[in-house]
Structure 1
Amino acid sequence: MDAIQCLDSAELPLQQALTQSSHVSGSPRTVIILQTAETPEQIQVKAGLFYAGVIAGSCCADDPTPLCEQPEYCELQFDINRQTAETIVTLLTD
């Protein structure tokens, strides 16, 4: 779980999962492990991620207010190869 939180946002498909905003913010993420499974070849982890996004260009140039973050959520599957530790991350959709 800590390893997922430490990943750079660009390493995860968070941008593609946005529903309330247009860009992923740099705010910390919260990760919840939803399910795990193992096969002889890999470890599979399904995780829910709570994170924030911002709506770019929503404020006037002279507006002193900070960008308003919008809450976002997505579910990802991590398929981890047991031999190489290579990980494939897949965005899960309904």
Structure 2
Amino acid sequence: MDPIAQESSSQPPFASAIAAWDTPRFAATLIDTLTRLGARFLPLQKGLTQGSVALDDDLMVRVLHTEAQGDHLLVRLSVQYTSIITGCSCVDDPTPENILPEYCELELIIDRQNGTAKVELL
């Protein structure tokens, strides 16, 4: 699991989600953060089943389960996204650039103290 580093802003990436924990706004706040971070931090490339390059243009994240464990929040997510099969882009390349549907489930572990997180493909 690779930690999700802080973005260039002074606020940790998951500070808003931590503040919304145990409220009806938690899922929406978390999904907004994950959608903003996109494929830069989510292991979408590892979850590919059809394409060769993960895209995050149409990223759809759903919260499946949440749980607090001490200083951490554990969140199970489902992610629908798209991929493409890349070719050489030559004039006679027979590989079509079709957009393909992809799906994976992830476990997100958020550190409640510093607002960083680790994410793992399940």
TM-score norm. by structure 2 comes to 0.67
2:104 is the alignment partner of 1:89: no
- CA distance in structure 1 between the partners assigned to 2:67 and 2:34 by the alignment: 17
2:99 matched residue in structure 1: 69
Letter in 1 for 2:39: S
TM-score norm. by structure 1 comes to 0.85
Contact 1:29 1:51 in 2 (8 A): yes
The offset of 1:28, in angstroms, is 2.0
Mapping for residues 20-59 of structure 1, pairs under 5 Å:
20-57=50-87
Aligned length: 90
Letter in 2 for 1:24: A
Runs (5+) with no aligned partner, structure 1 = none
Letter in 1 for 2:65: Q
- CA distance in structure 1 between the partners assigned to 2:41 and 2:58 by the alignment: 14
- What percentage of aligned pairs have identical amino acids? 37
User: CA RMSD for the aligned pairs?
Assistant: 1.9
2:47 is the alignment partner of 1:17: yes
After the TM superposition, list the runs of 4 or more consecutive aligned residues in structure 1 that deviate by more than 6 angstroms: none
- CA distance in structure 1 between the partners assigned to 2:56 and 2:62 by the alignment: 19
Instruction: Report the CA distance shift for 1:41/1:28 in structure 2 as closer, same or farther (over 3 A).
Output: same
Runs (5+) with no aligned partner, structure 2 = 1-30
Hey, which of these two has a bigger chunk of helix by percent? 2
